[in-house]
Amino acid sequence: MFTIMMMLTAMLSSLSTQDSVPSHAQVSDFSQETAVYRTAYSDFTHVSSHRASAYPAASGSESINGLTLQNRIEDADRLYGKPSERVPAYMGGEEYRYDGLNVGVYEGWIYYVSVPASTGSFNLNGRSIPMDVDRIRDELGKPDFTADDGFGYEHDGQAIKIFVDPLDGKLRSVDLFDSSSV
């Protein structure tokens, strides 16, 4: 039950930090490329030489802004101070909101980390990356998956998802969560 709850929470957690877009928003003609698809794959011609140093993590544990899925909330408090707000997270647990960072917590364990695009950049495994879809793709390479609301990278049970607006392809957030919810 815990695993199912965690998967559902990770899938829905990013919605709490996003602008409102109806879940039923779709491209009217399925033969057309969606904004998400264009954002994920358009003009993708190379993989940066920096990819090996930023992703995947040499340790096997991806970190976003210094936090991994193996951390406890006390680790986030130590790095960021006390949260400005604590709100219920989808399907249980709480979301701790820090300045420029949202962290999903269940029974003291971090199960997602979300960095809103408004922060301007995020830190992936020690490397600062601008909140720019093209720069993210340059750093991380061709996405492993796409969804209605973004694209992402997955390995060793972890997913890094780039959430984009399904209508215009603009970046919303970068999230780290357990890939079993992908």
pLDDT tens digits, residue range 124-169?
999 999 999 999 999 999 999 999 999 999 999 999 999 999 999 8
Q: Tell me, yes or no, whether 93 lies in a domain.
A: yes
Q: Tell me, yes or no, whether 24 lies in a domain.
A: no
Give the range of the structural domain holding residue 173, as residue numbers without chain letter.
2-10+33-181
Q: Tell me, yes or no, whether 23 lies in a domain.
A: no
Q: What is the mean pLDDT of residues 110-120?
A: 97
Q: What is the pTM of this model?
A: 0.74
Domain tally, the chain = 1
List the structure tokens of 73: 């909330």
Q: What is the mean pLDDT of residues 107-118?
A: 97
Higher pLDDT, 108 or 91: 108
| Measured CA distances, 142 to 12, 41, 46, 129, 177 (Å) | 24, 7, 8, 16, 19
6: confidence class by pLDDT, cuts 50, 70, 90? very low
Q: Tell me, yes or no, whether 150 lies in a domain.
A: yes
Q: Tell me, yes or no, whether 146 lies in a domain.
A: yes
**pLDDT tens digits, residue range 12-58?**
444 444 443 333 333 334 334 666 556 665 654 444 444 455 789 88
